[in-house]
Amino acid sequence: MDDTGFDLVVVGSGFFGLTIAERAAAELDKKVLVLERRSHIGGNAYSEAEPETGIEIHRYGAHLFHTSNKRVWDYCNRFTDFTGYRHRVFAKYQGQVYAFPLNLALINQFFGKSHTPDEARALIKEQSSEVDSADVQNLEDKAISLIGRPLYEAFVKGYTAKQWQTDPTELSAAIITRLPVRYTFENRYFNDTYEGLPVDGYTAWLEKMADHPNITVRLDTDFFAVRDELPAGVPIVYTGPIDRYFDSAEGDLGWRTLDFEQEVLHDTGDFQGTSVMNYNDAEVPYTRIHEFRHFHPERDYPTDKTVIVREFSRFAEEGDEPYYPINTPDDRAKLERYRERARKETAENNVLFGGRLGTYKYLDMHMAIGSALTMFDNRLRPFLVDGKPLSGTESED
């Protein structure tokens, strides 16, 4: 392929990659080539209309935009308006539905008694005293030391076992550093200053980011299949799996993946009355059900049918889509070795590694965008404008 004349190559068209591409194209007037192995733009944030109902589906799992970073919020608003959607989650346990996360409404409902905030605090303090924080050995101990056994067994134990395919007594306590309890009736899931969903959907937002005359997007293109054909000397921002870039030379990093079971339901326009319902009972195989019509109540969706998506969590195997880093001590040791390789690759070949897969970090959308803006400001702009080396320092934790 003829890919001469580009000033920058970006591997991956998710939020991190497109933010880098858009900034280089729009702010520096640089020509950018974006390589995307999938047949569509947008990475895991890609959304599409379900054909039968027209309801917008997030193909790779629900994406909820929220941030307290005003710079990120202002940047995103260049490409999309946001709805007033506020995310609220409910949890189903033993046939009853509870407002989630843990708050005063859940505590009152679960224990069958009205508690004042102070009474609820005292109750949780008493129940959590069963396990001293100094004696914590595993995730179960840690959770009980934070919220007590009754709430742990109802709302954490089964859900966590399904998420990790592992008994919580065999999981590291480091997986949960805190379990927030709200001693008010506030049931908004996120606490961020800004929240909403893109008015026209994620794909429209992402396509607008890429809609610049200096940006060329090549879909269905595997970077590793064409890397030898890329112009020599052009810097690369790589957002794929860092272990894949180095041919797993330090071993494969561990990931969890998700499976989705989508179903169109007829003769009802509303299956569960909310966008997300967690299923906390261990015997229910899925972790939650999304009903996507509720993400956009302002839209004119059909009233006689709806779409639900059951979500299943498991360890990723070869060929699976990686979602969440597992981050065992062994993974962390491998990652340090990959980071050293990445530093050398940056210094020698002008390759930068970013995004969720490229850094082996779980990043919400606003975090990926913020991280990309920082990389652009601190690494790419000085390189592309002033010729400074790309191998400057940048935080990795």
Residue 362 tokens, joined? 């779980």
Return the pLDDT at 232.
Answer: 85
* Stretch 44-67: mean pLDDT: 97
Q: Per 3-state DSSP, what percentage of the chain is helix, strand, and coil (rounded to 5)?
A: 40, 20, 45
* Stretch 32-43: mean pLDDT: 97
What band does 1 get if pLDDT is binned at 50, 70 and 90? Answer: very low
**Pairwise CA distance, residues 310 & 272, whole Å:** 12
The predicted-structure confidence for 275-315, as pLDDT tens digits, reads as follows 999 999 999 999 999 999 999 999 999 999 999 999 999 99
* Helix, coil or strand: residue 91: strand
Q: Of the CATH numbers 1.10.3110, 3.40.5, 3.40.50, 1.10.3470, which one belongs to the domain with range 101-175? A: 1.10.3110
The predicted-structure confidence for 165-205, as pLDDT tens digits, reads as follows 889 998 888 888 778 899 999 999 999 999 999 999 999 99
Return the pLDDT at 329.
Answer: 87
Q: Do the Cβ atoms of 43 and 35 come closer than 8 Å?
A: no
Angle value at C-alpha 156, between 155 and 160, nearest 5 degrees: 135
The predicted-structure confidence for 336-382, as pLDDT tens digits, reads as follows 999 999 999 999 999 999 999 999 998 999 999 999 999 999 999 99
Nearest to 123 by CA among 151, 143, 142: 151
**Pairwise CA distance, residues 238 & 10, whole Å:** 6
Residue 10 tokens, joined? 């970006």
CA trace torsion 69, 74, 79, 84 (10° rounding): 70
Q: What is the Cβ-side half-sphere exposure of residue 381, based on CA atoms within 13 angstroms?
A: 12
CATH topology for 8-53+63-82+199-251+326-386? Rossmann fold (3.40.50)
Task: Answer positive or negative: Cα dihedral of 76, 62, 46, 234.
Answer: positive
Of all residues in the chain, what percent carry a pLDDT higher than 70?
Answer: 97
Return the pLDDT at 172.
Answer: 85
The predicted-structure confidence for 132-165, as pLDDT tens digits, reads as follows 888 999 999 999 999 999 999 999 999 999 988 8
Q: In the chain, at which residue ranges do the beta strands (DSSP E only) sit?
A: 8-11, 32-35, 47-49, 56-58, 65-67, 89-93, 96-100, 194-196, 215-218, 236-238, 255-266, 276-279, 288-291, 305-315, 324-325, 351-353
Q: Directed axis angle between helix 117-128 and helix 104-111, to 10°?
A: 70
Nearest to 371 by CA among 382, 389, 359, 381: 359
Length of the chain: 397
* Stretch 75-102: mean pLDDT: 96
Name which of 215-219, 270-274, 388-392 the model is least confident about: 388-392
Please report, as a single letter, which amino acid is at residue 81.
D
Residue 121 tokens, joined? 């605090």
- pTM score, whole prediction: 0.93
The predicted-structure confidence for 230-269, as pLDDT tens digits, reads as follows 988 899 999 999 999 999 999 999 999 999 999 999 999 9
Return the pLDDT at 264.
Answer: 98
Return the pLDDT at 3.
Answer: 54
Interacting residues of 160 by C-beta distance below 8 A, sequence separation 6+:
139, 143, 168, 171
Residue 212 tokens, joined? 């610049």
Q: Which residue numbers are catalytic?
A: 178, 182, 256, 288, 311, 362, 364
Residue 151 tokens, joined? 């709430």
Return the pLDDT at 397.
Answer: 42
Q: Do domains 8-53+63-82+199-251+326-386 and 101-175 have the same CATH topology?
A: no
Could you state, in order of their start, the residue ranges of all structural domains in the chain? 8-53+63-82+199-251+326-386, 101-175
Q: In 267-396, at which residue ranges do the beta strands (DSSP E only) sit?
A: 276-279, 288-291, 305-315, 324-325, 351-353
